[in-house]
Amino acid sequence: MTENRQQRLRITAGLVSLLVGAGLMAVKFYVYRLTGSSAVLSDALESIINVVASSFAIVSIILSAIPPDEDHPYGHGKIEFFSAGFEGALIVLAALGIFRVGVSHLLSPQPLPGLDMGLLLMVAASAVNLLLGLGLVRIGRRTRSITLEADGRHVLTDVYTSVGVVAGLVLVRLTDWYWMDGLVACLVGVHILFTGARLIRESYKGLMDAADPDVLKQVTAVILAHRKPSWIDIHKLRAWNAGARIHVDLHLILPREMMLEDAHREADDLEKAILAEVPGAESVLVHMDPCQKENCPICGRAKCRHRAQPFRQTSQWTTTTMTATAFELPQGR
């Protein structure tokens, strides 16, 4: 799938999320008006966050697709991490509001009229939300959009919330224990509080260029698949995400007697392989290092006038060894 098609799919999914979310929010507030349930109100409040977050998500998806420019050489993809963090913060605020209402109804329980119709509407809303959330997560992963995936997780959290609310209201309907309405609202608040905190943590990791283990494993697999005898060693491998785009840089040790043109060709081959086979790879920078005498034991080059030590064995490359610095290479390599 081309980048243009992926972008159209992201925007379409964002618009669907916004429209469906607005409709479900209206349904939940109608159910709250019908029943007066604090648990339903907690679910409706979370739906407001869904709508606001979906609006912000669409904007961030559009902005993140703007090509790199002079002021933003790595593109604008990190706006997606801001979006995820913003959504997480809104979820935390919603949780605090839910606690306030839930505790009030827990201490002063009230009868819930119109409960049968309210339950039917809540079940229907949950089913629609489930389909929406699964679709958003799937499209987010397919198009490498952290914004859509975060929006989908939020929607799925709303589904779990709604299921908990429905279960609580069914118990209220069967037992007339109206205090359970407030208890369910408080439990919903706890659940979404942790969800919001998780989104904020993931956003922070992205903004701080935290290493992505999955991406590093993909890059490692590509390097091993294309490894050449002239590639003596690799270290300082780094990979980080800027939204849907991935940036990679590494140090490649080559024979010091290799001509500059040949060394450049080796680096170019490695860059092309990573760009072609790592989904979302936007830029790859290979820094070429000339071999030193301590590299002789892992260099299998047959004829070398610079050899200072005999060859022992080719180095075993893993993600751990390639992400190490030159001074942290495991002993015996």
pLDDT in tens, 22-48: 999 999 999 999 998 988 988 888 788
What is the model's pLDDT at position 34? Answer: 93
- Clarify whether residues 178 and 235 are in a common domain: no
**pTM for the full model?**
0.66
Cα(98)–Cα(189) distance, integer angstroms: 6
What are the pLDDT tens digits along the chain (333 aa)? 677 788 889 899 999 999 999 999 999 999 999 998 988 988 888 788 778 878 877 887 788 778 888 888 877 777 878 877 887 888 888 888 888 888 888 888 888 888 899 999 999 999 999 999 999 999 998 887 877 887 888 788 788 888 888 988 898 989 989 999 889 888 888 888 888 888 888 888 888 878 889 999 999 999 999 999 999 999 999 998 877 688 999 999 999 989 999 999 999 999 999 999 998 888 999 999 999 999 999 998 888 888 888 899 888 999 999 998 753 444 444
Cα(40)–Cα(30) distance, integer angstroms: 10
Domain count along the chain: 2
- Clarify whether residues 167 and 125 are in a common domain: yes
pLDDT in tens, 94-118: 888 888 888 888 888 888 888 899 9
- Is residue 292 domain-resident? yes
- Is residue 330 domain-resident? no
- Clarify whether residues 50 and 74 are in a common domain: yes
- Which domain-ending residue is among 207, 228, 259? 207
What is the model's pLDDT at position 19? Answer: 95
- Is residue 332 domain-resident? no
- Is residue 164 domain-resident? yes
- Clarify whether residues 195 and 265 are in a common domain: no
- Is residue 19 domain-resident? yes
Tokens of 91: 């979820």
What is the model's pLDDT at position 60? Answer: 77
Eight-state DSSP code of residue 114? T
What is the model's pLDDT at position 327? Answer: 38
- Which domain-ending residue is among 207, 241, 274? 207
Domain CATH for 73: 1.20.1510.10
What is the model's pLDDT at position 330? Answer: 42
Burial of 130 (0-12, 13-18, 19+ CB in 10 A): middle
Distance (Å) of CA 230 to CA 167, 222, 278, 292, 327:
64, 16, 23, 14, 21
- Clarify whether residues 167 and 49 are in a common domain: yes
What is the model's pLDDT at position 3? Answer: 72
- Is residue 71 domain-resident? yes
Q: What residues make up the domain containing 224? A: 213-323
Distance (Å) of CA 59 to CA 20, 77, 131, 325:
17, 12, 23, 39
Torsion sign across C-alpha atoms 108, 114, 120, 124:
negative
Burial of 229 (0-12, 13-18, 19+ CB in 10 A): exposed
Burial of 224 (0-12, 13-18, 19+ CB in 10 A): exposed
Domain CATH for 285: 3.30.70.1350
Alpha-helical (H) ranges within the chain are 3-35, 38-64, 79-107, 115-142, 146-175, 179-207, 213-225, 260-277, 319-323
Q: Do 211 and 323 contact (CB within 8 A), yes or no?
A: yes
- Clarify whether residues 201 and 269 are in a common domain: no
What is the model's pLDDT at position 326? Answer: 54
Cα(188)–Cα(289) distance, integer angstroms: 56
- Clarify whether residues 126 and 229 are in a common domain: no
- Which domain-ending residue is among 159, 185, 207? 207
What is the model's pLDDT at position 118? Answer: 92
Strands 281-290 and 245-254, sheet pairing:
parallel
pLDDT in tens, 196-222: 888 888 888 888 878 889 999 999 999
- Clarify whether residues 121 and 170 are in a common domain: yes
- Clarify whether residues 189 and 282 are in a common domain: no
- Is residue 333 domain-resident? no
What is the model's pLDDT at position 56? Answer: 78
- Clarify whether residues 169 and 231 are in a common domain: no
- Clarify whether residues 193 and 104 are in a common domain: yes
- Clarify whether residues 163 and 55 are in a common domain: yes
- Is residue 329 domain-resident? no
